[in-house]
Structure 1
Amino acid sequence: MTQRYAVVLAAGQGSRMKSKLYKVLHPVAGKPMVGHVIEQVEATGASKIVTIVGFGAEKVKDYLGDRTNYAVQEEQLGTGHAVIQAETHLKNKDGITLVICGDTPLLSAETLNNLFDYHQKKGAKATILTAHAQDPTGYGRVIRNEENYVEKIVEQKDANDTEKLVQEVNTGTYCFDNKLLFETLSQVGNENSQGEYYLPDVIEILKNQNEIVDAYIMTSENEGMGVNDRVALAEASRLMRRRINTMHMQNGVTLIDPMTTYIDSDVTIGSDTIIEPNVTLKGKTIIGEDCFVGAHSEIVNGTIGDGVRVTNSSIKDSVMEKDSNIGPYSHLRPNSHIGESVHIGNFVEIKNATIGKTSKVGHLTYVGDADLGENINIGCGTIFVNYDGKNKFRTTVGNNVFIGCNANLIAPLTIEENVYIAAGSTITKDVPTQAMAIARARQENKLEYYNKLPH
């Protein structure tokens, strides 16, 4: 098989984003744009990927890590100048090199594979990925001759009035014969309005050398869109989420209103799960089969087992095992683990805690830094008091414990199994098995007290 390589152009500062964040690191559906690009390039089987970085290089390297090689473009002198920075990695190698921009997050591996295959089938030395645009403003125009062969690419700012009417546009993605690409780049000049070295000029040089240059027209205009400002970022995000939502629905997930359901690209959802409107699923969330996620819920990096019910609640970096339920208006903070068939009711906050199966935390309760066993009942208004103003402490509760309403459990504390905690108690000492703990002032009634007050 012919070797495949890729050069990802990610050196532009992106001044039109008006942001302190490096352009290709702006997220689309929960993932930086360049992350989408690298992921799709990897799926084509490219044996070496070289990412061209410049402004913000270290942040891009921190994000991508060793998934790619790097070359630095010190000065922003155009796309041709950017690609030639990869010469030390790719020069003299036999194969096909894909050149792709790091701000084109919607391009799919399927389209890129089609481009590779078309390029090889046609025996071309260069193949342009093009699209027919309803409004081609801002894009380079693909100019064809009378025989419909590609003649050249003209940038918007250098196009004449006739060329500006052309609707076939250059998406900025190409396949090249690798050796010929780097041989030809040395011939590219900068005699244009911007004084830059344009990669598309390679096309015209190859044509003049009677090499085969072709264009592969993809079916979706939107897929090739580049993101240069916040308006385009919002549109790319909308299109990506529509693609993601469609995929989940085709896999057997019910989205009551896909237009108001926001699912990141790395989320996994099992079949026969129902998602209500205004739900946000972020990060690497995993949701099992036969679940229900109610309106206005947010799950971030959550792991949700089969048959779980989430009603208008927030879950972050936590686990809910099968057949458990939560909400409405409850919150799982990081490192919470909710066991099988556990009930978490309304207005409950849980943080860094484990709750064993079939336990119940009904309502208006805070459980922080605690390890709870099975079949525990926690009454309304219970507080696990875990913080003394400086340090956090843990509470351990055994199986089959009943905790009455408005109890305060002052950590560090161990409550053994088969224990009752009386309502209204403030527990500061460990409670042994089989005991009932009562820690509240004895009631005293002051008779005739009402009559002693002025009225």
Structure 2
Amino acid sequence: MSISVVILAAGQGTRMKSSMPKVLHEISGKSMLFHAIDAAKQISDDITVVLYHQAARIQKEIEAHYDTIRFHMQDAAQYPGTGGAMKGVRTKHGRTLILNGDMPLITKDSLLALTSGNADINMSVIRLDDPQGYGRVIIENDKVLEIVEQKDCTSEQLHTQTVNAGIYAVNTSLLEKYIPLLSNDNAQSEYYLTDIIKMAVEEGRTVHPVYVEEEEFKGVNSKLDLAHAEEIMQRRIKRSWMQAGVTMRLPETIYIDVRATFEGECLLENGVSIQGASHIIDSHIKAHSVVEDAHIEHSDVGPMGRVRPNSRLIRTHIGNFVEVKKSTLTGVKAGHLSYLGDATIEEGTNIGAGVITCNYDGKNKYQTIVGKNVFVGSDTQLVAPVTIEDDVMIAAGSTINKNVSKGELAISRVPMKTVKNFFYKFFGEK
């Protein structure tokens, strides 16, 4: 049977204490809602996101990354609660999976388990050693009988260790029948999705418990939860890449964006941060270096190097305290203390210590072009726009603000001057 997916993302998320919608907070470089959408897209071609709080902002973000998502704008003021969020939602397939947008750790395998079988409703449950504070799911003969809030539990029910994980796969015809019947006649005046379980049991429908791992079904409701989810996601990402052949030194100190990719023999030393959709091939990223949305191939970076977005390093050595921004370096050595921005530098060129490209005049950015086999002496400023042709030598301490032709030496210095015995005149004879 084909599956429709509804993702509930209408809540205000006040415990996040942020002006940003809760579901747009990022985990490993991607909004938590996008993690849920990505998992849903692996099993369904019919995905609806339910919105209310800051709906226009969330919809705009989703549409910038996905083109097949449908939206349902809910009036949560009139229909509060998880059941209220489902009011008026329509799906096209015979079975509907209801997810929460603040559960970014869910995987495809768990979603497939939740949607399998022939029960009228599959309900996710977790076994907890200490279920204190949770409503209990009462199960007999592998069927859910009821959900009992802790305050309503008998002394025997309090020993039950199965609790509701909040995800349901429901035959769509039943969902269309039960949702309009939900009532908010309760202490919170909310419409509870859990009430469909009670309706189904009373009608003799089959409600099947699907046991899931607590880690995957953690809801993110605070900045503390966000940090915990990040730790779990990072462990998954790094475990996957290490199993694929990436070497990591002290992996617990390394950060890798979920969008980053690796090929071949790659080594990441301690403290490395790989951000954005960086792609690294057969390269060595040394301690405490940062790579952001860059392509690095057969190269080494750092320690304490920084490669910023839209940079390409091929067969290049970037040493300590070197920053590269929006530049392409092929076969280059830049050992220390340099800034190379908006530049193209070709094979065999050596960049001395303290070299910078002066690429910004306060209004616009300009290009620096450096050819092959160029030697750029230490403490040189290349004032863009400027072109340095092949086989050029630039003397240390020069400011280059004009193009330099092939084979030339460029030197720009104030002549050195000395004053005899100045030290003694200044400080006095000793």
- After TM superposition, list the pairs within 5 Å mapping 1:2-41 onto structure 2: 2-41=1-40
Equivalent-residue separation in structure 1 for 2:365 and 2:229 (angstroms): 44
Counterpart pick for 1:167 among 157, 161, 169: 161
- After TM superposition, list the pairs within 5 Å mapping 1:63-102 onto structure 2: 63-65=61-63, 66-76=67-77, 77-86=80-89, 89-90=90-91, 93=92, 95-102=94-101
- After TM superposition, list the pairs within 5 Å mapping 1:30-69 onto structure 2: 30-44=29-43, 46-65=44-63, 66-69=67-70
Equivalent-residue separation in structure 1 for 2:124 and 2:162 (angstroms): 10
* Secondary structure of 2:357 counterpart: strand
Find the counterpart in structure 1 of residue 330 from structure 2.
356
Could you say if the C-alpha distance between residues 59 and 361 of structure 1 is closer, same or farther in structure 2, counting changes exceeding 3 Å?
A: same
Equivalent-residue separation in structure 2 for 1:181 and 1:115 (angstroms): 16
- After TM superposition, list the pairs within 5 Å mapping 1:356-435 onto structure 2: 356-357=330-331, 359-435=332-408
- After TM superposition, list the pairs within 5 Å mapping 1:304-315 onto structure 2: 304-305=296-297
Query: Match of 2:180, as an amino acid?
Result: S
Equivalent-residue separation in structure 1 for 2:352 and 2:105 (angstroms): 50
Further displaced range: 173-182 or 70-79: 70-79
CA RMSD of aligned residues (A): 2.5
- Cα offset, 1:43, TM superposition: 0.7
* Secondary structure of 1:50 counterpart: strand
Equivalent-residue separation in structure 2 for 1:297 and 1:414 (angstroms): 29
Contact 2:290 2:307 in 1 (8 A): no
Equivalent-residue separation in structure 2 for 1:444 and 1:256 (angstroms): 51
- Cα offset, 1:96, TM superposition: 0.7
Taking every aligned residue pair, what percent have the same amino acid on both sides?
A: 39
- Cα offset, 1:153, TM superposition: 1.8
Contact 2:124 2:168 in 1 (8 A): yes
Correspondence 1:189 to 2:192: no
Correspondence 1:337 to 2:312: yes
Q: Once the two structures are superposed, what CA deviation does each residue of 1:378-412 show, in whole Å capped at 9, x if it has no partner? A: 23333333333444333322222222233333333
Large movers: runs of 4+ above 4 Å:
156-162, 444-454
- Cα offset, 1:271, TM superposition: 5.2
Query: Match of 2:61, as an amino acid?
Result: Y
- Cα offset, 1:351, TM superposition: 2.6
- Cα offset, 1:226, TM superposition: 1.6
* Secondary structure of 1:142 counterpart: strand
Superposition TM-score, scaled by structure 1 size: 0.85
Structure 1: 5+ residue stretches without partners: 306-321
Query: Match of 2:97, as an amino acid?
Result: L
Contact 1:376 1:401 in 2 (8 A): yes
Contact 1:157 1:193 in 2 (8 A): no
Find the counterpart in structure 2 of residue 211 from structure 1.
205
Further displaced range: 169-178 or 191-200: 191-200
Find the counterpart in structure 1 of residue 130 from structure 2.
135
Find the counterpart in structure 1 of residue 221 from structure 2.
228
Contact 1:52 1:85 in 2 (8 A): no
Find the counterpart in structure 2 of residue 238 from structure 1.
231
* Secondary structure of 2:326 counterpart: strand
Structure 2: 5+ residue stretches without partners: none
- Cα offset, 1:38, TM superposition: 1.0
Q: Once the two structures are superposed, what CA deviation does each residue of 1:198-256 show, in whole Å capped at 9, x if it has no partner? A: 111111112221222221122x2222222222332222222222222222222223333
Could you say if the C-alpha distance between residues 413 and 274 of structure 1 is closer, same or farther in structure 2, counting changes exceeding 3 Å?
A: closer
- After TM superposition, list the pairs within 5 Å mapping 1:190-339 onto structure 2: 190-218=184-212, 220-270=213-263, 272-289=265-282, 291-305=283-297, 322=298, 324-339=299-314
- Cα offset, 1:193, TM superposition: 1.9
Could you say if the C-alpha distance between residues 434 and 56 of structure 1 is closer, same or farther in structure 2, counting changes exceeding 3 Å?
A: same
* Secondary structure of 2:86 counterpart: helix
Equivalent-residue separation in structure 1 for 2:147 and 2:334 (angstroms): 66
Could you say if the C-alpha distance between residues 199 and 279 of structure 1 is closer, same or farther in structure 2, counting changes exceeding 3 Å?
A: same
Query: Match of 1:116, as an amino acid?
Result: T
Could you say if the C-alpha distance between residues 395 and 263 of structure 1 is closer, same or farther in structure 2, counting changes exceeding 3 Å?
A: closer
- Cα offset, 1:175, TM superposition: 0.9
Contact 1:141 1:163 in 2 (8 A): yes
Equivalent-residue separation in structure 2 for 1:137 and 1:17 (angstroms): 23
Contact 1:3 1:95 in 2 (8 A): yes
Find the counterpart in structure 2 of residue 177 from structure 1.
171
- Cα offset, 1:303, TM superposition: 2.3
Equivalent-residue separation in structure 2 for 1:448 and 1:259 (angstroms): 59
Contact 2:285 2:303 in 1 (8 A): no
Equivalent-residue separation in structure 1 for 2:396 and 2:7 (angstroms): 64
Equivalent-residue separation in structure 1 for 2:45 and 2:424 (angstroms): 92
Further displaced range: 195-204 or 328-337: 328-337
